[in-house]
Each structure stands twice: as structure tokens, then as C-alpha cells.
Amino acid sequence: NAGVTQTPKFRVLKTGQSMTLLCAQDMNHEYMYWYRQDPGMGLRLIHYSVGEGTTAKGEVPDGYNVSRLKKQNFLLGLESAAPSQTSVYFCASSYRTGRTEAFFGQGTRLTVV
């Protein structure tokens, strides 16, 4: 049981390049989330999904797109990376009912130069 797995773990991008971060969970969770964490700060919610085929904006959605084509996967895309998107990105997932805590992945450290 791997829990929440993020790919890749590290990436360096040049300004203007695009990339996709993959999040996979094997707990059959309905809800999935993408957060970013800048140095010395708490996590901020970028986008979230409450089910397959649905997505919604969080606190800081600008510059990012997401897709949830399969229940177990949640993709975060950067179409044109900017230095301000240098951050650590965390994916999380949770059940819709019952246990309501979120389970987090180990993070993706992204640097945009």
C-alpha cells in the first residue's frame, strides 16, 4: 500500500517551459488536492477535485491547470513556468465520508530558473 505517490520528486525548469506533476493514490479516495509550500510558510491550496472528472480552484490557482481523468490520479500542469512558481508541491487525498483527514505525498521540489 503506497498511499499517495508524487512524480517527479525534483525538477528544474527554465522560464516558459511546461511540465506536468503526477499524483497517484491507491486508497480509493474521492477527494484529491494540490498544495504549494514556499520557504518558511504553510501550505496553500492550489486546486482540488471532489471526484473523477471534476476540479475546482483553491486559494492560489493562477498559472496552474489540473485534470482528474481517473479517480486515482490528479495531474497538476504548468503551461508556462515562471520563477514565482518555484516551490515544493504537495498532493493529498481523503475520503468523502468517514475518516476525514487528508493523506499527503512526499512532495515535488520544483525550481524555475
Partner 1 sequence: DAKTTQPPSMDCAEGRAANLPCNHSTISGNEYVYWYRQIHSQGPQYIIHGLKNNETNEMASLIITEDRKSSTLILPHATLRDTAVYYCIVRVLDNFNKFYFGSGTKLNVKP
Q: Minimum distance between the CB of residue 80 and partner 1, rounded to whole angstroms? A: 26
Q: Minimum distance between the CB of residue 29 and partner 1, rounded to whole angstroms? A: 9
Listed ranges 10-18, 66-74, 76-84, 105-113: which one lies at the site for partner 1 (CB under 8 A): 105-113
Q: Is 34 in the site for partner 1 (CB under 8 A)?
A: no
What SS3 string covers the chain? Answer: CCCEEEECCEEEECCCCCEEEEEEECCCCCEEEEEEECCCCCEEEEEEEEECCEEEECCCCCCCEEECCCCCEEEEEECCCCHHHCEEEEEEEECCCCCCCCEECCCEEEEEC
User: Which cell numbers hold the place of 13?
Assistant: 525548469
Residue 84: φ, ψ to 5°:
-70, -10
Q: Is 60 in the site for partner 1 (CB under 8 A)?
A: no
Q: Minimum distance between the CB of residue 16 and partner 1, rounded to whole angstroms? A: 27
Q: Minimum distance between the CB of residue 97 and partner 1, rounded to whole angstroms? A: 9
When binding is defined by CB under 8 A, the residue of 26, 59, 82, 111 that contacts partner 1 is 59
By the criterion CB under 8 A, which residues form the site for partner 1?
4, 31, 33, 35, 37, 40-45, 48, 50, 56, 58-59, 88, 90, 92, 94-96, 100-107
